[in-house]
Structure 1
Amino acid sequence: MNMNSLQQYTSHHTSAFSPAPDQTQLTSSMNLLMLGTASGMLLHWLVWDRIGGSLGMFVWTVLSCAAMLWLNRHQNKGWRLELLGWSTVMASAALLAMLRDADQVMLLMFLVMLLSLGMMFYRSRGELLANATLPRVFMTALSLPARILLSIFPALDTVIKSSWRGGSQISAVFRGVLLAAPLLFVFVLLFASADAVFNQQLQRIGDLVNALTPTTPLITLILIVLATGLLSCSVMQTVHSSDVSVNDQSQQLWPGMRVTLGQTETAILMGSLALLFTTFVILQTSYLFGGRELLEVRSGLTLADYARRGFFELLVVAALTMGVLMALASVHCHQGLFRRLGAVLIVCVLIMLLSSIYRLNLYVEQFGLTMARVVALTVMLWLGISLLGFAATVLRGNSRGFLAGMVISGMACCLLLGVINPARTVAIININHALSQNSRLDLDYLSSLGADVVPEVLNSLSEATAPDYFCRVVIGTYSRWYNDARDWRDWNAARAAAHQRFMAHLETC
């Protein structure tokens, strides 16, 4: 737990002699607690211990977004519209998770939802997305978990002070317990590790607590705390004028960075990278785009061997280059050299990304497609957009909007991947490749992609195989793909469609 974040949330009520909260604070705290309690209970009922990417998750997300909008109903119109936009992104990601069944897609949709929440939290602190800097983004990322875990306590503190006499003393005791709990936890673990007798007594106490504590109410309580924290991330906080002035003047990714690189250091660092990248690109273009015969002669590899190599390595090169450019943009260096040589690096990396796409095309022709390469292609698209954005902003001496654009473009790429249904695309390409090459279809791999591929696989097998063999495949894979989601909370569009296809083919078998 971040102690600075803990102090931030407790300093708002630092003393037993602090004045009682006004009616507005009390109403806001009561609304947050009531909606957080309802959201936590719904989270337990709709999402907890349910199948991932289901209707229950989508319903809970929509209701939580509606609660966020209601909590901010008295804020200015601009913030409410922006909050509506991020809520729409969260609901769209939850919808795509309900429509798809591939694990990779669901993971990316959850990432989009988390980033949307982070953007809400960043804006609720009074920060402007266009003026985002690396220190502020890092501090927001570090304080977000503390916000989610601790935001229920200031609201409870406000209600206690307003509802009971002696509430200030109760709040002081509560804050003391909150400060002491992490230290007690650490020391108890150390003592248990140091002494066997102490550890045995601790285990006995733990067993007794487990026997006396009902599991379901405890889980609900934890989920209420988390849900209240999630809702609080959308509540606009007080903006200090000093923070706004610093933020509005920021033109660097890392304002205040004291590291300085002179002209010589900048020339050596950027020049050596530019020379290496340019040499590699020239060698690549001399044979990579010159046809398959020239490629095999110059590389000394067969087309199949060459197709396997280089795709992920060049993707890592692009990511590292993006990191190097952002790091150099955060220090004081010779701007003329940085901009010129940085432009050279970006052009070279963009050519490398085109080379990676060409390698991917060769791989698909030889072996088919995998989800790992589809996800990598999505990352490649995002890096390409980010590099172009870097060239249009930071290299021109103004970083305004770059970091926000980088995050938003990444979210857009993830949503685009969910829309195109990548698992189905992989299945179609691999089926066509197996038919054209008269090779064996890897059903084990396709089955690992989830229910998205079931319709395509069953259709292709029914047309290309004998009825007896097809029926054996259907019966053998039915239990692997089928999930009997009789509870409406577990409903998923891809799994429901797969179930219908299985039942239709099983009737003919």
Structure 2
Amino acid sequence: MSSPSAAAPPPRVPNDPYRPPVVPSPLQPPAWMKATEPRKPTPVPGVRVVAAGLAAGLVSAAVLADGIGVNLLICALIAAVAAGLAGRSAGRQVRPWTVLWGVVALLLLVVPVLTDAGWPTFLAIVTALGIGSLALHGGSRWAGVLLGPLGFWAHLVPSVPWAAMTLRDRQYPARERILPVLKASAVALGLLVVFGALFASADAAMGELFGDLMPSADVGDLPLRVLMFAVGLVVALGAAHTAASPRRWDRLPVAPGRERGRVEWALPLIALNLLFGAFAAVQLVVFVDGYQAILRKPGLIPSEYARQGFWQLLWVTVLTLVVVALAKRWAPRRTAGDRLLVKGLLGLLCALTLVVVASALYRMQLYVDAFGLTRLRISVAAVELWLGVVFLLVIAGGVLSSRRWLPRAVVLSAALAVGVFGLLGPDALIAEQNVARYEKSGKLDVGYLRELSADAVPALDRLPDDRRTCALQLISQDLSEARSSWYSTSLAEARARDILRKNPVAPDGGNACLRAGFREDYLP
């Protein structure tokens, strides 16, 4: 007979109320965080990666303080080299989608090279950062392509100590010889910059000597250039850290939605399809008979009808996209009949939504013909057009019975839309449309046109004397005050300077605006 100490403990009852609750260890990360962990530890970057990061910082400090143009593309190429070196040292393979995302990100940075307008440039830069981050992370599912563009920012802070590991590693070859030289060079460069700038400011002869050696040396620019160095360094190292240790957002556990019954799922969509079909039939009648039959109703202003109809139809398009996504999540999918029903109802709804997109764009065209083109109007029209492309992609995914490519195709279409939008020059299109409208009807909002960028100069140059002077007054002042370094000058800015050099703007801009019917205190 065994002793009590050697006896086996009695088994616990699963529903024992006295059993202590199982508390997960605080050292164990949650499941969603495990899904995004790197597959292996981040390798030490190596001297070439650090050198590329330092080169990106130095080039950024030298050229980005004067403005944005081809210099931004040059800095991005250096950061791409740092990322490529880090990814290669980490053993990552170059995939076709990685190359495609990288090329699209660099092409988006061509927008500042060609256009002078700030708003499409900002949109292109932000999109390029997102697409570049997606290229570094990878991803094919919705979680990957939606979170991948945001994951880059989490790598910025740890990238600097990660790069410093190269210099702290005792196994690094020739460390004892290289580190003292680097430290001494950095201290010497700092002393020369600070005291040289002070001597140049104190003595004219020294200032002329330093001006010949370093044309861009300026004490006032020093803080900005230090900031640009830090930004260029951290962005390049962040790209390298992302390439060496990307988060795998595609591994996020996403549970499929609970299937609904055919009647419960299909009845709301059938009703919605009938409503959309009625709208499409009305629009077909309108397109055949013309809008004039509707606009002859008392109290209906054509411009108001077009404006209100556009915004309402834009919301219809956005909400329909949400409905399609939710319906797909809860769709019945057990049998072939269920899958055929899902394809039929969702495909019909997407096809009818294209009629909504066409109607919205036509109404915007009516409104633009009445009041002219503006930045807001061209922006929302571009968004509506892109939503139509998204619905076409959704229809193609249903027809081909394969949607593995759909998330990346939607993001790619958005990036290409931003690139095309910027390369077309929205301000140039706005000016061209308003000038053509003025030549036909004599109506012109010169107060709005004078707020455009240098992209609008070729079109505004066709206006008659007073209106031309008033429209180009602010643009001419901005171009005369702006720096003109080759690397920070866009093609549109150079073209505008050439036009204004051949045909300068008259100095009496205020009087010209008054004669053109515009006052300085007028708020359009």
User: TM-score over 0.5 for the alignment?
Assistant: yes
1:423 aligns with 2:427: yes
352-361 or 268-277, which deviates more: 268-277
C-alpha distance in 2, partners of 1:74/1:388? Answer: 41
**Aligned counterpart for 1:225 among listed residues 230, 234, 238:** 234
Q: What is the match of residue 321 of structure 1? A: 320
C-alpha distance in 1, partners of 2:330/2:320? Answer: 16
Q: What is the match of residue 174 of structure 1? A: none
Q: What is the match of residue 491 of structure 1? A: 489
Give deviations 1:139-192, integer Å, cap 9, x for gaps: 43553321233234444446535449xxxxxxxxxxxxxxxxxxxxxxxxxxxx
1:275 CA displacement: 2.8
Give deviations 1:399-437, integer Å, cap 9, x for gaps: 210010111111122222223222212211111111211
- 1:90-169 counterparts in 2 under 5 A? 90-123=105-138, 127=139, 132-141=140-149, 143-157=151-165, 160-163=168-171
Residues 1:143 and 1:5: Cα distance change in structure 2 (over 3 Å): farther
Residues 1:6 and 1:504: Cα distance change in structure 2 (over 3 Å): farther
Q: What is the match of residue 104 of structure 2? A: 89
C-alpha distance in 2, partners of 1:494/1:6? Answer: 49
* Secondary structure of the structure 2 residue equivalent to 1:43: helix
C-alpha distance in 2, partners of 1:337/1:144? Answer: 41
Q: What is the match of residue 344 of structure 1? A: 348
Q: Which amino acid aligns with 1:415?
A: G
1:363 CA displacement: 1.8
Residues 1:107 and 1:475: Cα distance change in structure 2 (over 3 Å): closer
- In 1, are the aligned partners of 2:351 and 2:395 still within 8 Å (CA)? no
Q: What is the match of residue 49 of structure 2? A: 32
Residues 1:479 and 1:256: Cα distance change in structure 2 (over 3 Å): same
Residues 1:159 and 1:432: Cα distance change in structure 2 (over 3 Å): same
C-alpha distance in 2, partners of 1:115/1:227? Answer: 14
Residues 1:85 and 1:361: Cα distance change in structure 2 (over 3 Å): same
Q: What is the match of residue 58 of structure 1? A: 73
- 1:369-408 counterparts in 2 under 5 A? 369-394=373-398, 397-408=401-412
- 1:190-205 counterparts in 2 under 5 A? none
- Please give the root-mean-square deviation of Cα atoms over the aligned residues, in Å: 3.7
1:356 aligns with 2:354: no
Give deviations 1:65-87, integer Å, cap 9, x for gaps: 34444545679997176554433
* Secondary structure of the structure 2 residue equivalent to 1:350: helix
C-alpha distance in 2, partners of 1:285/1:298? Answer: 19
C-alpha distance in 2, partners of 1:5/1:255? Answer: 13
C-alpha distance in 2, partners of 1:84/1:422? Answer: 29
Q: Which amino acid aligns with 2:156?
A: I
Give deviations 1:117-160, integer Å, cap 9, x for gaps: 1321232xxx4xxxx22233344355332123323444444653
Q: What is the match of residue 42 of structure 1? A: 59
Which structure is higher in helix share? Answer: 1
- In 2, are the aligned partners of 1:278 and 1:348 still within 8 Å (CA)? yes
C-alpha distance in 2, partners of 1:66/1:352? Answer: 45
1:63 CA displacement: 2.8
* Secondary structure of the structure 1 residue equivalent to 2:402: coil
Q: Which amino acid aligns with 1:401?
A: W
Residues 1:7 and 1:359: Cα distance change in structure 2 (over 3 Å): closer
Q: What is the match of residue 307 of structure 1? A: 306
* Secondary structure of the structure 2 residue equivalent to 1:301: coil
* Secondary structure of the structure 2 residue equivalent to 1:448: coil
Q: Which amino acid aligns with 1:493?
A: L
Q: What is the match of residue 447 of structure 2? A: 444
Q: Which amino acid aligns with 2:426?
A: P
- In 1, are the aligned partners of 2:133 and 2:149 still within 8 Å (CA)? yes
Q: Which amino acid aligns with 1:402?
A: L
Residues 1:160 and 1:327: Cα distance change in structure 2 (over 3 Å): farther
Q: Which amino acid aligns with 2:371?
A: F
Residues 1:141 and 1:490: Cα distance change in structure 2 (over 3 Å): closer
112-121 or 349-358, which deviates more: 112-121
Q: What is the match of residue 456 of structure 2? A: 453
1:312 CA displacement: 2.8
1:387 CA displacement: 0.9
Residues 1:258 and 1:118: Cα distance change in structure 2 (over 3 Å): same
304-313 or 345-354, which deviates more: 304-313
- In 1, are the aligned partners of 2:310 and 2:360 still within 8 Å (CA)? yes
Residues 1:46 and 1:7: Cα distance change in structure 2 (over 3 Å): farther
C-alpha distance in 1, partners of 2:298/2:119? Answer: 34
Give deviations 1:420-468, integer Å, cap 9, x for gaps: 22221221111111121122x222222322110012102x22xx346xx
C-alpha distance in 2, partners of 1:270/1:85? Answer: 37
Name the larger-Rg structure: 2
- In 1, are the aligned partners of 2:460 and 2:468 still within 8 Å (CA)? no
**Aligned counterpart for 2:438 among listed residues 434, 440, 452:** 434
Give deviations 1:251-276, integer Å, cap 9, x for gaps: xxx95324332223212332232233
Q: Which amino acid aligns with 2:498?
A: Q
Identity %: 21
C-alpha distance in 2, partners of 1:143/1:356? Answer: 35
Q: Which amino acid aligns with 1:360?
A: M
- In 1, are the aligned partners of 2:76 and 2:106 still within 8 Å (CA)? yes
- In 1, are the aligned partners of 2:55 and 2:78 still within 8 Å (CA)? no
Q: Which amino acid aligns with 1:259?
A: R
C-alpha distance in 1, partners of 2:365/2:394? Answer: 28
Residues 1:330 and 1:483: Cα distance change in structure 2 (over 3 Å): farther
- In 2, are the aligned partners of 1:58 and 1:91 still within 8 Å (CA)? yes
C-alpha distance in 1, partners of 2:62/2:371? Answer: 45
Residues 1:11 and 1:108: Cα distance change in structure 2 (over 3 Å): closer
Q: What is the match of residue 501 of structure 1? A: 499
1:380 CA displacement: 2.2
C-alpha distance in 1, partners of 2:316/2:481? Answer: 41
C-alpha distance in 2, partners of 1:495/1:64? Answer: 27
Q: Which amino acid aligns with 2:126?
A: L
